[in-house]
Structure 1
Amino acid sequence: MKKKMLLFISLVSVVLFSGCAKWIDRGESITAVGSSALQPLVETASEEFQSQNPGRFINVQGGGSGTGLSQVQSGAVDIGNSDLFAEEKSGIDASKLVDHRVAVVGITPIVNKGIGVSDISMENLRKIFLGEITNWKELGGNDLKIILLNRAAGSGTRATFEKWVLDGKTAIQAQEQDSSGMVRSIVADTPGAISYTAFSYVTKDINTLSIDGVQPTDKNVTTNKWIIWSYEHMYTLGEPKDLTREFLEFMLSDEVQNNIIGQLGYIPVSKMQVERDWQGNLIK
């Protein structure tokens, strides 16, 4: 009896292991890495996808757009999430990557609630990040030293902000954070603080700034009245296959585009009344 039981257990183990091997071979687990601005959307969509497809897993990580692009190019991950076009990032061969634009995200200056300023000119916003304005009282606000926070150098959010606000110049040296969520938390807790983040990270514990009287809203992004925005890209090394292809199709499905995207503070690409190329030129 004991020998029969051991034989039965061995047979079951072989079957289970064989099934597991086939599951792995089918590519039932993929990894998406990169943009922290895009991360909440991909995480939420992946959870919904997994609930509809038990046993299939989407591993989502941040790290910044530069990380996403470099890792997908090297084949280390299946999807590279980016706020930037691959053509904008040095060291990336865009010809090897396939671009899947899943959404648009607006980016806004965020400030601590105690600064006493709600609107700023683009020129003065630029001067703040270039270190030429250092106290909020210079802009009619409270007598508070301006505390700058930047995203890390590989951040697509930072690159977009510097492109449209600083005319491509680099902000002065300041505290840097890899995470949009951490930036928001520090700004909320630090008197005089200013930074920038995707609309999707804006919460009630911080304030946004309008620029030259233009509010940071989805509607203003769709018409390019608010110019600080970017596409949210999910890049693959060549055409996607198997689970990668299915998940990207899900990202572009009506379920995600018409429901999840808006709920999380993103904008469906289909609602944009303008279109940009990788150099920032309007082509529509």
Structure 2
Amino acid sequence: MNGFPLDIVLAIIGIAVPIVAFVWEFVLVGRKRLGYRVQMDTPVTGEIESVFPGVLPQLRPDGGATAPDLQDLSVVLVRIENSGITDVDSADYASPESDPVGLHIHFPHRRVIGMAVTELSDDALGDSLKPGTGIGSREDTQHRVGIIDLPKVPMDRGDHYKILAILQRTAGAGEYPEPVVRAKLKGGRVSETRSRVGVSPKLLALIGFLVAVIAAQFVFNLDDNPASGEAADCVSGTLTLVGSTAFEPAVRDAAAEYGKHCAKARFTFEFDSSDRGLSREDEEGKNNPGLLAISDGPKGVGYPSLVPRTLAMSTFTMIVNPAVGVHDLTVQQIRDVYAGRVDNWQLLGGPDLPVRVVNRALGSGTREAFRAHVLGDGQPPSPAVTSCRGIAATNPPGVSFCEVPVTNDMLKTIADLPGSIGYSEYSDAARASGVETVTIEGHTPDRDQVLGHTYPFWSVEYAYSNGELPADSLAAAFLRFLTGGTGKDVLRAHGNTPCGELPNPTSCTP
């Protein structure tokens, strides 16, 4: 987002706000705090005597015939507590030193008939609540408010006491207005506390704030995530990819995946063989970072200016027409077939069917990998070749040889030509219809077999540029994507093993 570290700012806010809230709540305003809670406010019934036996006689004032008629009475129980984190001393009450009263409980529309202290968390509190300490009751007749005055009681952290009062209505009807405690603390506050059941609104607000911060970070990261918009290594431009037809499907899919992240990146594909791709890179790639060649194996001699980069270990397989009926061959049998020493599949346990040997044309990286890893240098020159289509049309007796230029032609020829044998990149063959793969000496073309040196037919896929690529070029970004990004998943899905995932990446050489 234009280089502004919004994610860092959000993280700092997410940490700072809870800390500030804690300091504000418990160190500053909440460090010294008195709380009050109305635990009961109910009309007088017979149940009061059962809950507080012997209390009502204390509350009913003496006076004989002059005693007030106790009609429309209610009983209120108020808890006063030190809800802060420090002790509260007598000097902490914000009232004149000469005034012994520190708290006032107001009962709108009611007068106080009587009162008593019913519970002390510490017996020592009783010394501050005796008659003559400032405790008492009175009435503000002008505003019809009954008032209980409470002294400046010193309270340690967590201390509390309760006041039970019997009241008589003086105005109004229905539910009584709620009692209110009024007082001031120096450097603190007095506030109503709630029963600790459920979640407090402040905690809910803090949780909501943190959720909002997390959501904002998620949206920000989603916006910066390569999967949702422009990739972190997204470069616009056009890149032409040439070379290996065996590796073409994997490269095409990787380019499509890169294009999902980088809408301004354009790819063109002109694969026609490894050798032709290298030649074109050598001729047209100088000072042209928009051209990249893919090769099944190293470049060989004649291309001194081409810079190699290993991409993945690729496995190949022998393939046959389904009519051949042979599912495993030894290396020597493959060599005999491609030397023309086997002219009928009966000699290898198959049906009475002449052998049709299909090779890739010269310049094919797959053909070079086949020669280097399977046939070997001692193989005699290939017999004369003819047209694959001509062989299919004339069906000559004995062994016949033909060549095809690209992988798709190899797969189609093997599927259409009875008795044919060829080779292909394994993942292409596995997806093709009308061909069957052949194991080599009982071993299958997978990574573990190759790393264990039991399966011989494999090679390394290379990318070549003419000289070093500019770091900000699409070609350089795409290579980084292939070797270190989601592109590796694409290569793996096509049966290749990215070189960077090998136990020893330096061993990713043919």
TM range (shorter): 0.7 to 0.9
Q: TM-score, normalised by structure 1?
A: 0.81
User: 2:296 is matched with which residue?
Assistant: 83
Cα distance change of structure 1 residues 277 and 251 upon mapping to structure 2, 3 Å threshold: closer
Given the alignment, which residue of 423, 427, 450 partners 1:200? 427
User: 1:266 is matched with which residue?
Assistant: 496
Q: CA deviation at 1:28?
A: 0.9
Q: CA deviation at 1:49?
A: 1.2
CA contact (8 A) 1:150 1:177 kept: yes
1:236 aligns with 2:455: no
Q: How many residues align?
A: 249
1:251 aligns with 2:478: no
CA contact (8 A) 1:222 1:273 kept: no
1:209 aligns with 2:428: no
Given the alignment, which residue of 243, 251, 275 partners 1:42? 251
Given the alignment, which residue of 379, 382, 396 partners 1:171? 382
Output aligned runs, 1:12-91, within 5 Å: 28-76=237-285, 78-86=291-299, 88=300, 90-91=301-302
Q: CA deviation at 1:98?
A: 1.6
User: 1:137 is matched with which residue?
Assistant: 346
Task: Find the aligned partners of 2:355 and 2:446 in 1 and give their Cα distance.
Answer: 25
Percent identity of equivalent pairs:
29
CA contact (8 A) 2:358 2:420 kept: yes
Q: CA deviation at 1:270?
A: 3.2
CA contact (8 A) 1:85 1:233 kept: yes
Q: 1:229-263: CA deviations, max 9, x gaps? A: 11100111111121111111111123121x21121
Q: CA deviation at 1:178?
A: 1.4
- Structure (1 or 2) with the larger CA radius of gyration: 2
Extract unaligned runs of 5+ from structure 2.
Answer: 1-234, 386-400
Deviates more, 1:269-278 or 1:193-202: 269-278
Q: CA deviation at 1:27?
A: 7.2
Q: Which amino acid aligns with 1:219?
A: D
User: 1:223 is matched with which residue?
Assistant: 452
Q: TM-score, normalised by structure 2?
A: 0.47
Task: Find the aligned partners of 2:469 and 2:264 in 1 and give their Cα distance.
Answer: 20
Cα distance change of structure 1 residues 273 and 113 upon mapping to structure 2, 3 Å threshold: farther
Task: Find the aligned partners of 2:451 and 2:267 in 1 and give their Cα distance.
Answer: 30
CA contact (8 A) 1:222 1:271 kept: no
Task: Find the aligned partners of 2:337 and 2:237 in 1 and give their Cα distance.
Answer: 48
SS at match of 1:85: coil
SS at match of 1:209: strand
Cα distance change of structure 1 residues 272 and 143 upon mapping to structure 2, 3 Å threshold: farther
SS at match of 1:91: coil
User: 2:314 is matched with which residue?
Assistant: 105
Task: Find the aligned partners of 2:291 and 2:508 in 1 and give their Cα distance.
Answer: 25
Cα distance change of structure 1 residues 44 and 160 upon mapping to structure 2, 3 Å threshold: same
Q: Which amino acid aligns with 1:82?
A: S
Q: 1:206-250: CA deviations, max 9, x gaps? A: 111111222222321233321211110011111112111111111
Q: 1:136-170: CA deviations, max 9, x gaps? A: 00011111111111111010000110112221344
Q: 1:72-102: CA deviations, max 9, x gaps? A: 122346211101212x2x4322xx2221111
Higher-strand-fraction structure: 2
SS at match of 1:252: helix
Q: CA deviation at 1:63?
A: 1.1
Task: Find the aligned partners of 1:171 and 1:163 in 2 and give their Cα distance.
Answer: 15
1:92 aligns with 2:303: yes
Q: CA deviation at 1:276?
A: 5.2
1:188 aligns with 2:415: yes
Q: Whose RCO is larger (CA < 8 A, sep 6+)?
A: 1
